[in-house]
């Protein structure tokens, strides 16, 4: 499979090229040149397979020969550490609503499902090439923890993660800072999440530094992450009767990576009835689906912090499809966004988007209310991100024949205060993290200065 850029100017690359580059050199995102198809018989044959085997069949057509040969054992290793034997168990909540639990990985959020795969794929490609990378990233909590869990102990990379000092939860910080492997380096920055992101961007824009340190990223625009997520849409749908039955998905959304993976599954032939884009108060995508205008506003902190995002990077991949894969058209929209702080798409493109996607929003009071209702009605405890999806499923007004799968993106114990407010009890951490609060922490406090952070990265990186 070849990969092309959403901005149309970069040369096509193979799977490994897209994996190692992350962003395309023209500033676009890589997408497959064509959509591989899973025919009805192929889908039917997936029912009942262990998750790693099912994922292998979904992922293989996106990869090259070398990657495909190693894929089966790689997926087995990636999912061996999950706390549930089904990896992504599907739980029925009521007559037409299911919960797809994506939080049984090492850091209790759905990001583990893809990052456990991405870390291993990067390591295999780098080892084969005899290369090393220095991964740098900024986190508001979940991504950094999942990236660290995925890359700890790997000989092919050092990982430097910046988090805003005092502004991530205790559980989130400890998940990062209690990892003892020598290739993991945590920075508590004296600044905000935006400051962390700005510093990471500045390091990538400093070309001599970037090349000397061999900087790399594991953020959500990496194609391999999207691809790995498409597999659980397929797993849930075939468990509920696809290809003979259409299924809808409700997806708590921030960066549009997860719900775009649902779109990928749809393009591969999965009969997806609807993709519900569930947002919190930071509702840029819900507003787009209502009006056709994409206009970032300021970020408002909410009880679902992993969705407190106003620039949904992966949305560019959908824009590319809505514009008939015209890279120049996407480039023009992105230029307009940079210049005017907004863009709008035409009525026909909005109609196309609405044929599959619908947006909803939920404020903090609504999240608490939804967590409480689900708990009282079913005994299940959900987290505030998942609550946004459940609300979307209930608000969608879909036909009774269409089962709705709500993606449970985080374990409730990751957000204990909000959950306790709704249910009256604080959810316990799973056994493998029960002693998290007593494990020794290791991190370096740095001022919000590029020079200081670059010096730290230089000292941490072994790639020279």
Q: Lay out the site mask for ligand PLP across 142-161 (x = CB under 6 A, - = otherwise).
A: x-------------------
**What separation in angstroms does the CA of 301 have from each of 140, 198, 281, 371?**
11, 19, 9, 19
Q: Does 254 bind ligand PLP (CB under 6 A)?
A: yes
In the complex, the smallest distance separating the C-beta of residue 59 from ligand PLP, rounded to whole angstroms, is 18
Catalytic, 111? Answer: yes
Could you tell me which residues come within 8 angstroms of residue 98 by beta carbon, excluding any fewer than 6 positions away? 90, 91, 92, 236, 240, 403, 404, 405, 406
Question: Torsions phi, psi of 273, nearest 5?
Answer: -75, -35
Using CB under 6 A, pick the residue from 107, 177, 253, 302 that binds ligand PLP.
253
Q: Lay out the site mask for ligand PLP across 206-245 (x = CB under 6 A, - = otherwise).
A: --------------x-------------------------
Closest CB to ligand PLP among residues 173, 385: 385
Hey, which residues between 94 and 153 contact ligand PLP (CB under 6 A)? Answer: 109, 111, 142
Q: Catalytic pick from 91, 111, 340, 462?
A: 111
Q: Estimate to the nearest angstrom the gap between the alpha carbon of 389 and the chain centroid.
A: 15
Torsion of CA 145, 148, 149, 155, to 10 degrees: 180
Q: Are 356 and 275 in contact (CB under 8 A)?
A: yes
State how far the Cα of 146 lies from the Cα of 220, in Å rounded to an integer: 12
Question: Torsions phi, psi of 93, nearest 5?
Answer: -100, -40
Closest CB to ligand PLP among residues 59, 410: 410
Q: Are 18 and 32 in contact (CB under 8 A)?
A: no
Q: How many other C-beta atoms can be found within 10 angstroms of the C-beta atom of residue 129?
A: 11
Q: Does 255 bind ligand PLP (CB under 6 A)?
A: yes
Using CB under 6 A, pick the residue from 134, 306, 370, 460 that binds ligand PLP.
306
**What separation in angstroms does the CA of 380 have from each of 100, 196, 365, 370, 388?**
13, 36, 19, 11, 15
In the complex, the smallest distance separating the C-beta of residue 292 from ligand PLP, rounded to whole angstroms, is 20
In the complex, the smallest distance separating the C-beta of residue 146 from ligand PLP, rounded to whole angstroms, is 8
Q: Does 281 bind ligand PLP (CB under 6 A)?
A: no
Q: Does 307 bind ligand PLP (CB under 6 A)?
A: yes
Question: How many residues does the structure list for the chain?
Answer: 464
Hey, which residues between 362 and 421 contact ligand PLP (CB under 6 A)? Answer: 385, 409-410
Piece of 30-38, 124-132, 251-259, 360-368 that binds ligand PLP (CB under 6 A): 251-259
Residues forming the active site: 111
* Interacting residue ranges for ligand PLP, rule: CB under 6 A: 109, 111, 142, 220, 252-258, 306-307, 385, 409-410
């Amino acid at each position: 499979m070849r990969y092309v850029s959403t901005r149309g100017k970069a040369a096509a690359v193979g799977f490994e090229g897209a994996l190692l580059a992350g962003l395309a050199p023209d500033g676009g995102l890589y997408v497959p040149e064509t959509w591989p198809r899973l025919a009805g018989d192929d889908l039917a044959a997936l029912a009942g397979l262990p998750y790693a085997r099912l994922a292998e069949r979904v992922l293989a057509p996106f990869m090259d020969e070398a990657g495909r040969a190693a894929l089966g054992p790689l997926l087995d290793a990636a999912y061996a550490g999950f706390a549930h034997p089904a990896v992504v168990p599907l739980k029925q909540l009521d007559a037409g609503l299911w919960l797809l639990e994506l939080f049984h990985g090492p850091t209790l959020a759905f990001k583990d499902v893809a990052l456990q795969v991405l870390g291993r794929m990067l390591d295999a490609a780098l080892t084969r090439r005899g290369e090393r990378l220095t991964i740098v990233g900024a986190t508001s909590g979940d991504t950094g923890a999942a990236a660290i869990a995925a890359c700890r102990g790997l000989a092919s990379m050092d990982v430097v993660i910046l988090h805003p000092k005092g502004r991530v939860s205790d559980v989130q910080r400890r998940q990062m800072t209690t990892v003892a492997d020598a290739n993991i380096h945590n920075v508590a920055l004296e600044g905000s999440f935006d400051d962390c992101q700005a510093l990471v961007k500045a390091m990538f824009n400093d070309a001599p530094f970037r090349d000397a340190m061999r900087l790399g990223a594991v953020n959500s625009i990496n194609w391999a992450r999207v691809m790995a997520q498409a597999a659980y849409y397929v797993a849930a749908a075939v468990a509920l009767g696809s290809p003979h039955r259409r299924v809808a998905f409700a997806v708590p959304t921030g960066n549009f990576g997860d719900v775009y993976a649902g779109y990928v599954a749809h393009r591969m032939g999965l009969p997806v009835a609807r993709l519900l884009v569930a947002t919190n108060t930071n509702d840029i995508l819900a507003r787009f689906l209502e009006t056709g205008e994409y206009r970032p506003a300021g970020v408002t902190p909410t009880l679902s912090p992993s969705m407190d995002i106003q620039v949904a990077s992966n949305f560019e991949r959908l824009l590319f499809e809505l514009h008939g894969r015209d890279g120049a058209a996407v480039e023009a929209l992105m230029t307009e966004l940079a210049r005017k702080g907004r863009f709008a798409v035409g009525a026909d493109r909005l109609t196309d988007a609405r044929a599959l996607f619908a947006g909803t929003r939920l404020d903090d009071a609504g999240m608490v209310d939804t967590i409480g209702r689900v708990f009282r009605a079913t005994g299940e405890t959900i987290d505030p991100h998942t609550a946004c999806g459940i609300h979307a499923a209930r608000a969608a007004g879909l036909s009774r024949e269409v089962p709705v799968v709500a993606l449970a993106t985080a374990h409730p114990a990751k957000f204990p205060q909000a959950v306790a407010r709704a249910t009256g009890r604080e959810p316990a951490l799973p056994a493998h993290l029960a002693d998290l609060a007593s494990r020794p922490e290791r991190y370096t406090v740095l001022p919000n200065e590029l020079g200081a952070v670059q010096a730290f990265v230089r000292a941490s990186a072994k790639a020279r």
